[in-house]
Amino acid sequence: MTTNQLTIAMPKGRIFEEAYDMLIDAGFDLPKTMDISRKLMLEIPGENIRFILAKPTDVPTYVEHGVADIGIAGKDTLLEQQRKVHELLDLKISNCHIASAGLPQTKLDDIAPRIATKYPNIASAYYREIGEQVEIIALNGSIELAPMIGLADRIVDIVSTGQTLKENGLVEYDYITAVSSRLIANPASYRMKNKRITDLVRRLKKCVK
Ligand code: PRP
């Protein structure tokens, strides 16, 4: 049985509010404030929408597997994971960039410089492209620690305000790529619920600033 309910995978945390406000701006009738601190699923019967609240890096997984029809994911996650999803719209929220950074006035003159990152695929692709042979050290967070304690020569990470780099005595070296949140869709859902999804894209597009 097919249902016309739209399941939307939303990133929990700081992107949630911006994305949720955009949906309200686009005219969706959603509760104005929402305490999502403990909730993992929210039903909005009036709009025939269900939200799944996921860890940001898991959103493309839910969408690829079709348990969410659409989702909001960072371009960083999409580039890193290369999942089979359609990218429908750049929402231009949570704008930041991926950069390499390290201790000031240091050169990459080792035989195989060590690069610490949560983005091993993006980092490998970048250094391959610039012809630098590197050793990638995959970490899950607090990446800025790596050069400070001698684990790596450079990090490849998200830079938003630049505050984390500054507070930890690091400087940016290379700007790698721009990042913002994207609306993504499961390819089968996009075909089967095309009218609902294209309507949502059209409405959100008007709210992109
Ligand atoms: C991200 C990123 C940097 C920080 C950059 O980490 O990994 O550490 O934000 O932001 P800034 O330029 O505004 O200081 P996040 O807060 O997502 O935490 P994590 O390291 O646990 O992933």
Digitized pLDDT (tens) for each residue of the chain, 209 residues in all: 457 899 999 999 888 999 999 999 999 999 887 777 788 999 999 999 999 999 999 999 999 999 999 999 999 999 999 999 999 999 999 999 999 999 999 988 768 899 999 999 999 999 999 999 999 999 999 999 999 999 999 999 999 999 999 999 999 999 999 999 999 999 999 999 999 999 999 999 999 99
Query: Is the distance from CB of 20 to CB of 89 less than 8 angstroms?
Result: no
Residues with CB under 6 A from ligand 1: 141-144, 157-164
pLDDT in tens, 172-203: 999 999 999 999 999 999 999 999 999 999 99
Query: Which atom of ligand 1 is nearest the CA belonging to 162?
Result: 12
Using CA atoms, how far apart are residues 37 and 14, in angstroms rounded to an integer? Answer: 12
Q: How far is the CA of 165 from the centre of ligand 1 (A)?
A: 9
Which of 122, 160, 163 is the pocket-test mutation for ligand 1 (most atoms within 8 Å of CB)? 160
**CATH number of this structure's domain 6-94+180-205:** 3.40.190.10
Residue 48 falls in which region: left (phi positive, over 0), alpha (psi -120 to 50) or beta: left
The domain over range 96-178 is classified in CATH as 3.40.190.10 = yes
Nearest CA to ligand 1 atom 22: 141
Residues of the chain with CATH 3.40.190.10: 6-94+180-205, 96-178
